[in-house]
Amino acid sequence: MSNLRVFIGWDSREDIAYQVARRSLLRHATIPVEVVPIKLQDLVEQGLYTRAVDPLASTEFTYSRFLTPHLAGFEGWALFVDCDFLFFGDVARLGQYMNPDHAVACVHHDYTPKEATKMDGVPQSAYPRKNWSSFMLFNCAHPATRHLTVEKVNTESGAYLHRMQWAKDDEIGEVPNSWNWLEGWNDKPATGTPDAVHYTRGGPWFENWQDVDYGDEWRAEAAACRAEGLTED
């Protein structure tokens, strides 16, 4: 893999989280990476996003993430990742999981949240294949991925989208859980760090979520973002 397009969900409440995810990903990458924020308002203005507001949606990119293949022109491979990530791994190594027979590759979590709420009081829901869609390596030209048209992303149910019902089970490849390591759920590795830490319950950008694994590393990355003038806060 010589380069990679990465689309990161952006939420107006969490710009610093996006900046940390972006900076940490680029800092460890050994290949050229193009990072694109998925901003809801931009998609609305372009006429690409027309869904009604969902009061149960925990982020502004709950559904818009599935526009990633469209935004990539339904060509090549593209990674979508939530903004609440901290990267330690080199995304160049994701090339080994790009199986042309697969429409998408992700971590196959078997996850039932312990908390009733997450982040800033947003309800924490449980459903099949939860968190699979928080880190998706899309084979954008695959016939199953091409089901994710603008029309379907705007009209299909959350279950259809997040449970990946647009692809057959054998078209969903698997990535090691080190690439979507759930803070507060997965065990810490015996040595080293996960490739990507996911603060799915909430992260250090929220005042009441300071005592988390790899919190010091996240805060150091955030301080670097602020020093470089990358943040909106």
Return the pLDDT at 1.
78
143: pLDDT strictly greater than 90: yes
Band (116; pLDDT cuts 50, 70, 90): very low
| Per-residue pLDDT at 231 | 83
Looking at the domain assignment, is residue 233 inside a domain? no
Q: Phi and psi of 5, rounded to 5°?
A: -100, 130
Percent of the chain, pLDDT > 70? 92
Residue in this structure with the two tokens 């805060």, named with its chain if needed: 219
- Identify the CATH number of the domain in which residue 213 sits: 3.90.550.10
Q: What pLDDT does 233 receive? A: 59
Domain contains 69: yes
Asked if the structure places residue 232 within a domain, the reply is: no
DSSP H or E segment with residue 6: strand 4-9
Q: What is the mean pLDDT of residues 196-225?
A: 94
> How far is 161 from 47, CA to CA, in rounded Å?
20
- Give pTM, 2 decimals: 0.92
Across 5-14, 22-31, 40-49, 111-120, least confident range: 111-120
Q: Do residues 83 and 9 lie in contact, with contact meaning Cβ atoms separated by under 8 Å?
A: yes
Over the stretch 52-71, which tens digit does the pLDDT of each residue have? Answer: 989 888 899 999 999 999 99
pLDDT (0 to 100) of residue 115: 52
Cβ contacts of 82 within 8 Å, gap of 6 or more: 8, 9, 21, 59, 61, 65, 134, 135, 198
Residue range 5-39, pLDDT digits in tens: 999 999 999 999 999 999 999 999 999 999 999 99
Task: Provide the domain limits for residue 140.
Answer: 4-227
Compute CA distances 79 → 13, 97, 212, whole Å. 22, 12, 26
Residue 142: inside a domain? yes
Domain total of the chain: 1
**214 within some domain:** yes
